[in-house]
Structure formats: C-alpha cells, structure tokens
Amino acid sequence: MGMSIFSLTLEKINSMSRMEFVESLGGIFEHSPWVAERAFQQSPFRSVDQLHSTMLEIARTAEQSQIEALLRAHPDLATKLQVTPLSAAEQQGAGLDRLLPEEFILLNDLNKKYTDKFHFPFILAVRGKNKEDIMNAISKRVNRSLQEEWEQALDEIGTITKFRLRDLIMDGGTLL
C-alpha cells in the first residue's frame, strides 16, 4: 500500500496527495503525524532541507500542549516502551541494546530522575554516539532548568528528524 522507502524522491513527495504525504512522512516526528499534515499545505518543497526546516518550524511553533505531546511521544532510552522501528534502529546503533546490567540500572535511574523533573523523556539524537556519550549527556542534562531542556529536546528532535528525512528521501539535491 505505502510507497517503497527506497524510491522516495523530492519530486514524488511534491506530487503526493495529502493522504500519501502524511502516510509517507507522518512518522518522521515521533507519533506526531500532525506535523506532516501541516507541512503538506506548504508544498512543493525545493529541497529536503527546506522540507525539514518547514516541519521543524511547525513543531517548534505549535501550541505548548502539542509540543509537550511531541516530547512525550519519544521513547525512554533503553526501555521497551512503544519504540517505533526508527527509534529501535537508532538505539541499537548506539549500543543501548548491549548495556551491562549496572549501566542499565544507572541509565534507568537517570531516566526516571529526568522524567520526574521535566515530565518528558530524555531525548537525544543517538546516531554516531556510543553509550558513554549518552550516559554523559543525561548525567549533565538532568541538572538543567526546564527551559534549557525544552530547547535542547527540540534541538535534538531537529537532528533526529533531519537524519530520518535524509534516510527516507533519495536525492538530497535542490529542485530548480
């Protein structure tokens, strides 16, 4: 039913119906197809980067309750809660599926402390990072202010979604 992931090009995206567009890009922002729904109204896109910056702007300027829902839609790192296939692959790449028992306990404790304090899970673009990088990041960030973490979480989502879009769309080139 859906298009093959390997044949998505910017031209195809620009010629999609609203339904196809949301079906293809609705998962880029974790469990938040509303981002793609709103982005569709601004097509056609000249580049993958323009598509991404449009989607990110929509996410960042949504109502606070919607942004909160987006932040909360992300899985806790290293837990088995409703992980989308994209998140699972990203976490495995960082070695989070191979934590030692004591690392798992520490990460879980930090995660809990973080979530209790900020009311959304610790969000980190884990691609290219190892488990030490991740442990260091959460150890530092758990001590920050809500405002700092809100901004940081949105920055991380920006990085995660840019990776996902670039993986999904074959040509990163610009259309003339």
Angle between helix 48-60 and helix 64-72 axes, rounded to 10 deg: 110
Active site residue: 31, 52, 74, 119, which one?
74
> Cα separation of 35 and 39, whole Å?
6
Instruction: Report whether 14 contacts 43 (CB < 8 A).
Output: yes
Record the tokens describing residue 8, joined without a space. Answer: 């998505």
> Cα separation of 126 and 171, whole Å?
24
Record the tokens describing residue 24, joined without a space. Answer: 């293809």
Active site residue 52: no
Catalytic residues: 74
